[in-house]
Every structure is written in C-alpha cells, then in structure tokens.
Structure 1
Amino acid sequence: MKSITSRDNAQYKELKQLATSSQARRKAGRTLLDGVHLCETWLQLRGAPEQCIVSESALHHPEVAAIVMQLQAHHAHCLSLPDALYNAISQVEHGVGLMFMVETPQRETPAALSVNAVLLDNLQDPGNVGSILRSAAAAGIKEVYCSPGTAFCWSPKVLRAAMGAHFVLDIFENVELAPLLEKSRIATLATSGYAKQRLYDVDLRQPVAWVLGHEGQGVSDELLSLARHQVVIPHLGKVESLNVAACAAVCFFEQVRQNQA
C-alpha cells in the first residue's frame, strides 16, 4: 500500500481536484465514490476500482479493513492518507474514511429509445437527480438520458443520493433529447401540471420513456410537443405541484403496479 503524507504531492492534488471540481471530473473521466456502501456496491457489481483511498484511522475499521484486504489480494492499487489529508478531500461528514477512484462509464447514445427509460430535461438539483436514479433502478428502468443542462450524474451529491443506482443503470449525459423523442420506438410520456390526461388512465404495460423537467419550469415546450402523452398526477390539497423526484417515483411505480397487476 502506497502512502502519501504531503499536500503538495501531485497525486494528492489530482484527488483533491476530483473531489471538488465537476469540471475536473468530466475532463478526467473519473470520479470518487465516498463511503463503505458505495464502494462495496461498486466492488460487487463492477469489480476492483482504479484506486482505493483510505484514511490511516479507517484501516482499523472492520468493514474497511476487509475491503482493503480483498483488494490487496487481487493486487489492486491502494493508497493511505493521514486523516487530515483524507478529510480535506472527503465530501462526507463523519464518514468512515474509504473512497474509490473509478472511471465514469462513457457510452454512445443509441439511435432510438427501445427499453424503459428516463429523460431528464435540465434538472439542476443533484439531490433530485440522485433520487430519480435510485427510484428508476428500483423500478427496473434500464436507461437514463440527461440533457446538457442537467446536473452531472457522477458528482458526489448525486452519487450519495442514488445509493449505488448508477451501477445498474446505463447513463447517457449531454444528450439532445428532442431527436430521441422523435425517433422513439416506444411510448413517450412527459409530466406536466397542465396536462388533461391523468397518469392512471394511461396503459403502462409496455416499455415507456418518461420525460421529467426542470424543478421550476418543468419540461420544455419543445419536448412536451414531441411526447406522445402529456400526463398529470392528480393530487389533493392546495400545493401547486409535486417535487420532481416524488413525481418520478409515482410514475415509475404506477408502471410497476400495472405490470404486476
């Protein structure tokens, strides 16, 4: 196991950039998974990381020690940092002191939509994006397409909110969504508070592409016009609308309900 003790070390500076800069993560094609749950899930579903980073005190933590031993048995790269250096790059308060550096998957966008999918139109809140990814994975959805204005899916906040959902989804970023809707081979549904058709009146016993929009402005007029259905979730009370992540969960699991009925 390699050890770094200086803040001026070039490798440490690279780690700090990955931890703090979305631009650096995009440019490097790498990100950091912080915490035992994310690291264990990556290990189970994707295998060894490019590098394991651990704080010196965490080496005495049973779960962390077991992961490190497993990686070292397979000759994976492990790096230890003094607690002060580790804490300067960790985004998790009171974490256990374990993170993986991994390559962010780069995928070529398919020519047309053909399986259950979610299209995110300019969603900017990382917590909402992560929650939607988590619900999508739980509902058996396969693909997620993000417009250029959507929060970067491999940022620390999105990763924490998604709780490992990234590793079972095919995620496509910086995608122009309109051509996908135009060429879609499956039903496309856009959510809108002004739609006349209720979600519960649509037959969802088939592959569907869900279009979800910006937290304040909703789905753009262009994408609304291209969607085969515009649907509303009826609700009681005097609130204007549902949070977009809550809306997504209702939509996804109404599809699950219909398919299991």
Structure 2
Amino acid sequence: MSYERNFTTIESTQNERLKSAIKLLSSNNALRQSGLAAAEGLHLAEILLHLPGVNIESVWIPQSLLNKPEWLTMSALSDVLENGEVRCLVLADSLYAKLSKLKSPTGPMIFFEPVNASAAIDLNKEVALLDGIQDPGNVGTLLRNCVAAGVYQVAVSDHSAWVWSDKVLRAGMGAQFSLQLFSESELLAALTAQQGKISIRVTSLHPKSVDLFEADLKPAGVWVFGSEGQGVSQPWLDRATQHIRIPQSTLIESLNVGSSSAVCLFEQFRQRR
C-alpha cells in the first residue's frame, strides 16, 4: 500500500518518542499542557481520520491491527495517512500495551489537537451548560445526548471533567466533534451582551418549578445541568428564569444527570417537531 512508506517502526521501550507519548498519557494535565488530546480505538479513529479540519499529530498502530480488514478499509480511504504529513508509528503488541490505557488494547491511538469552536455563541439557538459535572462518563453521555437531541452548542465550567479526556471521548463516542464547545466564561459574556431576555432552564424542586411536560420549551434558551452531588450551583440557580421539575415515580429519589438531561432535551426535541 502506498501509505506504508510513511510508517516508522518502534522496537524498544527506550525509544524516546514512545517514552514521551507514555508520559503525556500519564495525566490529562500533561496532555492539556501539550495542546494535544488522545483518542483510542477504531470507532474514534474512523471519525478522526475522515474529519476535515482536525490536526492530527501522530497515529500509533499495534502490529496485529495493521493487516486487519477494519483497519485496511479505514486507512485506505484516509488522506491523513496517504499524504505523509502525519507520523504513523507501528509497535509490537507488547509495546503498544504499555501505551494503551485500555485493559484490552485494540488500537490505534491518535494524538490530535482539540477542536475549538469556530464561531461565537449564538443565543438564538439552544445552549447546554455543564455546571461542575465531574464524572467523565456523565460528561460523555451528556455530550452525546446533546448531539442526538439537536443541541450543538455546549459550554463547560472549569470544574467539569475535561471534554477531551480519553474517558469522556469514549463515553461520548466522539460527540465532541459534532459540537461547538465553549467555556462558561464565554457563555456569561454572551449573556451579558445579549439585549433580549434569554430563558435559563434548570431542573430543581423550587416552589415555582413547572412540570417538564407542561413547560414551554420551544423558544431558544440555556439548559444548565448541575453536578452529581450538589446539583446546579447557586449562581446559576439565581439566574434561572425557568425552574423545571421532572415528574417521576415516588419509588426512586432522583435521576442522575445523564438521564435527566436526556429526558429534558428530548422533551424539547418532541415539542419542536
């Protein structure tokens, strides 16, 4: 295959590039400081290798994957591998296992630059805020819920899990690449600059909370989804213009944030159809 000339084989644990990659993967802080993120597995690789506008730094491939049909089909279609601009590194499976963070490594591992929002927040369209959600599985689930329900702008507080971490990428199944991602401060600045009234929606047991299925969710607004333990933070509760209550059986105390976000976003989706 033509792209194989661009591959470099790594045969030793003492290889400097391998040691550097392992060190980067040792913590999310190390990755963030490097300006890179890392995604592992065929599903995420298929998204990344065929997605325009993503800067890929390197692709790490275990030897056993190299000639499997699922990889051959993917790589044969990928300009990223054929143009020679990206470093493609092949490792024996035993070496790749030292790089991988999975119990059963599959490969490939791709280092890439996180994708920044390409435009300013548009408050004429829906926004979801992740307000201190720290569990990577919940963050990934919420991002996936947003994409599925047609909410493509997501703001993330500093106290939430990093949306480009390996665990969030796996939980979100690559939803990040379909979203415009912003910081909480960018959302606050947009709200401050906005002239008209914007609905800010929170789920709460506020005395004036409205049953979800009776609330008017058709106008654009901001959904605020709070942390697993504390719920929506007090500053956002104070800003809220719509307090919404999810009706449910009395046999369970509450839903987790992943489930409650799905219920709310899809009720909005239903109302807008």
Distance 2:258 2:25 in 1: 25
The alignment yields a C-alpha RMSD, in angstroms, of 2.2
Matches within 5 A, 1:11-22: 11-22=17-28
Aligned letter for 1:189? R
The separation in 1 between residues aligned to 2:81 and 2:156, in whole angstroms, is: 36
| Aligned residue number for residue 29 of structure 1 | 35
Q: Alpha-carbon deviation of 1:111?
A: 6.6
Residue range with higher mean Cα deviation, 173-182 or 32-41 = 173-182
Shift of 1:17: 2.7
Deviation for aligned residue 1:91: 2.0
Counterpart CA distance in 2 for 1:157 and 1:193 is: 31
CA distance in 1 between partners of 2:210 and 2:164 (Å): 34
Which of 115, 118, 123 is matched with 1:113 structurally? 123
Aligned residues of 1:20 and 1:89 also touching (Cα < 8 A): no
Separation in 1 of the partners of 2:232 and 2:193? 18
Q: CA deviation at 1:217?
A: 0.7
1:77 equivalenced with 2:90 (yes/no): no
Deviations 1:214-242 (A, max 9, x none): 10110011111102111111111322111
Q: Report the secondary structure of 1:130's partner residue.
A: helix
Q: Does 1:238 align with 2:251?
A: yes
- Structure 2 distance, partners of 1:193, 1:81, is 54
Shift in Å at residue 47 of structure 1?
A: 5.8
- Name which of 71, 74, 87 aligns with 1:64: 71
SS in 2 for 1:45: coil
| 3-state secondary structure, aligned to 1:257 | helix
User: How far apart are 1:8 and its partner, in Å?
Assistant: 2.7
Q: TM-score, normalization: structure 1?
A: 0.90
> Which of 150, 167, 182 is 1:172 aligned to?
182
Counterpart check, 1:188 vs 2:207:
no
Q: Which residue of 2 aligns with 1:222?
A: 235
CA distance in 1, matches of 2:9, 2:74: 17
| Stretch of structure 1 that moved more, 131-140 or 196-205 | 196-205
**Paired position in structure 1 for 2:4:** none
Contact residue 130 and residue 156 of structure 2 kept, 8 A:
yes
- Structure 2 gaps, min length 5: 1-6
Q: How many residues align?
A: 260
User: Equivalents in 1 of 2:118, 2:62: separation in Å?
Assistant: 36
User: Which runs of 5 or more residues in structure 1 are unaligned?
Assistant: none
User: Which has the higher mean CA deviation after the structures are superposed, 138-147 or 84-93?
Assistant: 84-93
Does structure 1 conserve the Cα–Cα contact (< 8 Å) formed by 2:132 and 2:160? yes
Aligned to 2:157: 147
How much has 1:28 moved relative to structure 2?
1.1
Q: Deviations over 1:126-162 (max 9, x none)?
A: 0000000001011111111111110000001100000
Quote the Cα distance in structure 2 between the aligned partners of 1:135 and 1:61. 32
2: CA distance, partners of 1:179 / 1:47: 27
Give the CA deviation at 1:68.
Answer: 3.3
> Which 4+ runs in 1 deviate beyond 4 A?
176-185
For residues 170-193 of structure 1, give each alpha carbon's deviation from its aligned partner in whole angstroms, at most 9, with x where no partner exists. 112464765555555532101224
Tell me how far 1:58 sits from its aligned partner.
Answer: 1.0
For 1:109 and 1:191, how far apart are their aligned partners in 2?
28
What's 1:256 paired with? Answer: 269
- Give yes or no for contact 1:145–1:177 (8 Å, CA) kept in 2: yes
Aligned to 1:127: 137
**Distance in 2 (alpha carbons) for counterparts of 1:160 and 1:23:** 18
The separation in 1 between residues aligned to 2:74 and 2:143, in whole angstroms, is: 26
8 Å contact 2:133–2:228 — kept in the other structure? yes
Structure 2 residue corresponding to 1:92, chosen from 102, 110, 129: 102
